[in-house]
Amino acid sequence: MNIAPRNVLEVYADIWCPFAHVGLRRVADRRNALAVDTHLRVHPWPLELVNGKPMDAAFIGEEVVEIREQVAPDLFAHFDESAFPATTLPALALVESAYAMDIDTGERMSLALRDALFEQGRCIDDPAVLAELADALGVPPATDEHAAAVLTSWQHGRDRGVVGSPHFFTSDGNFFCPALDITRVDGHLQMAPKADVFDAFVAAAIGTA
């Protein structure tokens, strides 16, 4: 499937990042509401390699509670901290396998894995879960080539100046976490929607607000 570059919105993100889940869902919802033919190319940004250690399930669980209570009551319906994965590298490789087929399948797999983790409470480093999701979308199992593509994406992201997950790139500039204004006060997250920034981002990303 060939898609003109202007119709592809690039973003670097990890699957177990709750802020990326919110951002990608908000972008996809706005795109769908506007009926704009824009496709998400979600590049791997493996936080366990960026930070030198896996994400902490309890820490993410606390963030999920605060995100849901403050800005996203419609998301994280069945998040299960006990099912939090130890790694996302196999899942990220599976996303690369899906994108190798075509950009639509890649986007669907990227979002499906996030839904499995944050909306269904499934453990996405379980090979059986990955195999089920791959079968549902007709995606072949990830190979060593796809695993290597995750590492290549990490390097490319560093070269492009990625600062975190999610980091979007448009023809008019780049935006880190454009959906949310996030600060931490006395150890607690304080969040609010960035309406003006998000509208500017959408205009840059898909050509209309």
Instruction: Write the CATH number for 176.
Output: 3.40.30.10
Higher pLDDT, 34 or 151: 151
The pLDDT-based confidence of 1 (bands split at 50, 70, 90) is very low
Do the domain assignments include residue 81? yes
Do the domain assignments include residue 126? yes
Q: What is the mean pLDDT of the chain?
A: 91
Do the domain assignments include residue 163? yes
CB under 8 A, 24+ apart: contacts of 188-192: 188/66, 189/63, 189/66, 189/67, 189/70, 190/70, 191/66, 191/67, 191/70, 191/71, 192/70, 192/71
Question: How much of the chain exceeds pLDDT 70, in percent?
Answer: 95
Do the domain assignments include residue 69? yes
Q: What is the pLDDT of residues 132-179, one digit of tens each?
A: 999 999 999 999 999 999 999 999 999 999 999 999 998 778 888 887
Q: What is the pLDDT of residues 89-116, one digit of tens each?
A: 999 999 999 999 999 999 999 999 999 9
pLDDT at 102: 96
The pLDDT-based confidence of 208 (bands split at 50, 70, 90) is low
* Residue-number span of the structural domain to which 94 is assigned: 7-206
Do the domain assignments include residue 1? no
Question: How much of the chain exceeds pLDDT 90, in percent?
Answer: 72
pLDDT at 7: 86
Look at the chain and report how many structural domains it folds into: 1
pTM of the model: 0.89
Measured distance CA(90)–CA(184) in Å, rounded? 31
Do the domain assignments include residue 197? yes
Q: What is the pLDDT of residues 72-83, one digit of tens each?
A: 999 999 999 999
Mean pLDDT of 22-47: 93
Do the domain assignments include residue 2? no
